[in-house]
Amino acid sequence: MLGARCLLRALRSCSSAPCPRPKPPARLSVRDALRVQSPSGERVTVQGWVRSVRSQKEVLFLHVNDGSSLESLQIVADSNLESRELDFGCSVEIQGQLVKSPYKRQNVELKAEKIEVVGTCDPKDFPLKYKDRPPLEYLRQFPHLRCRTNALGSILRVRSEATAAIHSFFKDNGFVHIHTPIITSNDCEGAGELFQVEPSSKIKVPEENFFDVPAFLTVSGQLHLEVMSGYRIFFSLLF
């Protein structure tokens, strides 16, 4: 009788205890996924745009990029995950296991378990084409798409690294980065004749000014920088 009561209490405690829920897959960028040195099959979620689709009888290969890296992440999936909406330029969310890649050119690849097309793309109307290198003059017409190309992506990364290095050098040597005003009341180098800021009302009153004083778009930050540089010299002489 005592054993039956203990068994009943154990069953009640097991039924009332919350069941452990599986951990949701970690969301990684393409750059972070490619940096994994020793993948152990952890489940992750990756979002990005499809750069290439290659379908075989039993295997589906995708290359996905989200802009965080010039190199794309290869997705390997079963052919039953292929859909009509899965095409070049579409945005996807992929869940799967991050595993070691058997190819020498890449360290990891994502073995997809679920592929969801978030945004469709018609390759006929899409300005960028697969395996096409459009000239820069053509890319200027599409400012929201040109950063997806490797050419513009490389240029922006080089400029970012150069700017960061310059700022780091001057900061380590005690300099202060100063942002000069864009709108100023100083008519520098005759800029007020062309770039005066006025109210947007259709009927303009000569005595009415947006800032109660005549304001202009500055064409030179040198005037304000000279004031700041003089202040630094005076400050250094005091101490």
Distances in Å between the Cα of 94 and the Cα atoms of 59, 74, 77, 236 are: 16, 11, 10, 58
Q: Which CATH superfamily is domain 26-119 in?
A: Nucleic acid-binding proteins (2.40.50.140)
Q: Which residues pair with 62 in a beta bridge?
A: 53, 75
Give residue-wise pLDDT tens across range 134-157.
888 998 899 888 888 888 999 999
Residue 91: the pLDDT is 94
Residue 26 clears pLDDT 50, i.e. is over it:
yes
Across all residues in the chain, what is the average pLDDT? 81
Contact call for residues 62 and 82 (beta carbons, < 8 A): no
Portions of the chain given CATH number 2.40.50.140: 26-119
Residue 17: the pLDDT is 47
SS3 of 9, please?
helix
Give residue-wise pLDDT tens across range 206-238.
556 566 677 777 777 777 777 777 666 555 555
Quote the pTM value: 0.70
- Give the mean model confidence (pLDDT) for residues 12-20: 52
Q: Among 62, 61, 40, 36, which Cα is nearest to 51's?
A: 62
